[in-house]
Amino acid sequence: MDFRLPEEARVWAGKVREFVDHDLIPFEVEAELNGGDLRPEIRQRQRQKALDFNLSGMDAPKQYGGLELSVVEQVAIYEQLGRVTNALGWCFSEAHKWMFEACSDDQINRYVVPILKGERHECYAITEAESGSDVDGLDATARQEGDHYILNGEKWFVTSANLADFAIFQARLEGGIHAGAHVLFFVDLDTAGIEVIDTPLFSHTFEAHHPTYRFRDVKVPVANRIGDEGAGMDYTRAWFRRERLMIAARSCGAAERLLEEVRVFANNRLSNGQAIAQYQLVQAMLADSATELWAARLMTYEAAQAHDRGEDLKRLHARCSMVKLYASEMVGRVADRCVQIFGGRGYMRENPAERFYREVRVDRIWEGTSEIQRLIIGGIFNKRGLDGLIGSTNT
Ligand SMILES: Cc1cc2nc3c(=O)[nH]c(=O)nc-3n(C[C@H](O)[C@H](O)[C@H](O)COP(=O)(O)OP(=O)(O)OC[C@H]3O[C@@H](n4cnc5c(N)ncnc54)[C@H](O)[C@@H]3O)c2cc1C
């Protein structure tokens, strides 16, 4: 086994690290103290830089202007973006590979390529009041009438909707031969019948909000349906796999930054005339954190390599759940220990450990809670044994 990153991935990590260190991290406190917002010229500069790197196209095919990077390279990029708080790394939207596979040419031209160019921004409207972990149980409906569908439903936690101009909306088909099956649509957010009914505050301080939307008799053309009727869940699963892997990558980046920051502090902070880094109780927290980060990083890159070598889809699904589960729980523990090592300073909002402590908590909730990841892993283990999850050392 060889876990050294390929040269291309190291080059990407270096470029993005410089962007994060020079253009994003210096603005974290400003964002924190301003409800997540930055001065428009600063945000614009960050967005332009992300566009210049073509980060929107890291997963997109070259024929459409994407970079078609390997999954390992993409994980290397997301690991670096994870080093910044206040979601300042979310300075670009992303045109994913699955979109090019699922969408018609017309949809690619109207929605997906404009994401690549930074001209349009999407949000995902899947979760509902009574359907979060239980995605299969959603109540939103889509009923075909001639060359249109009529959409109804209430969607919760629609991340970035305040910055987006269209949503990917998941519903259940009402009537027709696929009645009850799931279906996805592109829905322009200025379509009649769409209303924001709440913009709750959350633990983190992000420019991107998570509002609740009501869709009442919203008319969208059949041409906006993504893929076939009934294929909705397949695309949602493809999106979950990618997001789970990238959450793991960002968790590793966050843990790395936390450990870098706390190491400097622990070596300079004196207590009873001695740097606190010299105290073994502090060293134990640092040792556990570094060890768990290493484990999470190895798992995450191995899962990325498994994508690049084209492993069986079920195994990939299991691996994405395992890395999301382990890495998101790992960074929660690391953030908690770092707050402890910073002492009272770790409880101040200007301290990155305090911000990470709040921000990484959601990584155990969104894109499937830790419990749901355990159910997925346990289910696959029961059906296919270890071979279905990680294989063995002689296969
Ligand atoms: C900040 C934020 C942003 C989000 N952004 C988006 C977005 O952009 N688009 C979107 O569609 N959704 C989004 N979500 C929704 C997110 O995916 C859900 O919150 C998540 O899937 C959990 O669903 P829930 O909140 O309904 O919790 P529930 O499903 O009600 O779960 C509550 C608790 O019960 C546990 N539980 C539930 N079922 C089981 C079970 N079968 N076995 C064991 N335990 C179980 C859960 O693990 C959890 O601990 C976002 C959420 C947050 C907090």
Annotate the chain with three-state secondary structure. Answer: CCCCCCHHHHHHHHHHHHHHHHHHHHHHHHHHHCCCCCCHHHHHHHHHHHHHCCHHHCCCCHHHCCCCCCHHHHHHHHHHHCCCCCCCCCCCCCCCHHHHHHCCHHHHHHHHHHHHCCCCCEEEECCECCECCCHHHCCCEEEEECCEEEEEEEECCCCCHHHCCEEEEEEEECCCCCCCCEEEEEEECCCCCEEEEECCCCCCCCCCCCCEEEEEEEEEEHHHEECCCCCHHHHHHHHHHHHHHHHHHHHHHHHHHHHHHHHHHHHHCEECCEEHHHCHHHHHHHHHHHHHHHHHHHHHHHHHHHHHCCCCHHHHHHHHHHHHHHHHHHHHHHHHHHHHHHHHHHHCCCCHHHHHHHHHHHHHCCCCCHHHHHHHHHHHHHHHHHHHHCCCCCC
For ligand 1, mutation pick of 86, 121, 122, 127 (most atoms within 8 Å of CB): 127
Judge if the beta carbon of residue 199 lies within 6 A of ligand 1: no
Q: Where in the chain is the domain with CATH 1.20.140.10?
A: 233-389
Q: Is 146 left (phi over 0), alpha (psi -120 to 50) or beta?
A: left
Confidence (pLDDT) at 229: 85
For ligand 1, atom 45, name the residue with the nearest CA.
371
In short, whether 371's Cβ falls inside 6 Å of ligand 1 is: yes
State in Å: Cα 180 to ligand 1 middle.
Answer: 22
What residue spans in the chain does CATH classification 1.10.540.10 cover?
A: 7-116
Nearest protein CA to atom 37 of ligand 1, as residue? 133
In this structure, what are the phi and psi dihedrals at residue 279, rounded to the nearest 5 degrees? -80, 130
Positions of CATH 2.40.110.10 in the chain: 122-226
In angstroms, rounded to a whole number, what is the distance separating the alpha carbons of residues 331 and 2?
Answer: 25
Q: Which two tokens stand for residue 319?
A: 């691996």
* Ligand 1 contact via 107 beta carbon (within 6 Å): no
126 close to ligand 1 (CB < 6 Angstrom): yes
Residue 366 near ligand 1, beta carbon < 6 Å: yes
Class for domain 7-116, per CATH? Answer: mainly alpha
Q: Which two tokens stand for residue 341?
A: 């090592």
- Using CA atoms, how far apart are residues 348 and 345, in angstroms rounded to an integer? 5
1 alpha carbon to ligand 1 midpoint, in Å? 36
Q: Which CATH class is domain 233-389?
A: mainly alpha
Q: What is the pLDDT along the chain (395 residues), one digit of tens a residue?
A: 567 899 999 999 999 999 999 999 999 999 999 999 999 999 999 999 999 999 999 999 999 999 999 999 999 999 999 999 999 999 999 999 999 999 999 999 999 999 999 999 999 999 999 999 998 899 999 999 999 999 999 999 999 999 999 999 999 999 999 999 999 999 999 999 999 999 999 999 999 999 999 999 999 999 999 998 888 778 888 889 999 999 999 999 999 999 999 999 999 999 999 999 999 999 999 999 999 999 999 999 999 999 999 999 999 999 999 999 999 999 999 999 999 999 999 999 999 999 999 999 999 999 999 999 999 999 999 999 999 898 877 65
Distance CA 127, CA 110 (A): 25
Report which ligand 1 atom has the smallest distance to the Cα of 160.
Answer: 8
Measured CA to CA, the distance from residue 36 to residue 113 in angstroms comes to 28
The closest residue, in CA terms, to atom 41 on ligand 1 is: 372
Model confidence pLDDT, tens digit, residues 98-123: 999 999 999 999 999 999 999 999 99
The reply to whether ligand 1 has any atom less than 6 angstroms from the CB of 202 is: yes
Using CA atoms of 237, 238, 241, 245 in order, give the dihedral in degrees to the nearest 10: -150
Render pLDDT for 202-232 as a digit per residue (tens, 0 to 9): 999 999 999 999 999 999 999 999 998 888 7
Contact 94, 58 (CB under 8 A): yes
- By the 10 Å C-beta count (0-12 exposed, 13-18 middle, 19+ buried), 273 is classed as exposed
Measure the CA–CA gap between 384 and 395, rounded to whole angstroms: 15
CATH number of 122-226: 2.40.110.10
Distance 245 CA to ligand 1 centre (A): 18
Q: Nearest 5°: CA angle at 365, between 72 and 247? A: 10
pLDDT at 1: 56
With a 6 Å cutoff on the Cβ, whether 369 touches ligand 1 is yes
Q: Which residue has the tokens 């909705």?
A: 232
Greatest Cα pair distance, the chain, in angstroms, is 79
Taking the C-alpha atoms of residue 81 and residue 56, their distance in angstroms, rounded to an integer, is 13
Report pLDDT for 341.
Answer: 98
- Give Cβ neighbours of residue 245 (< 8 Å, ≥ 6 apart): 71, 75, 300, 303, 304, 307, 320, 323, 324
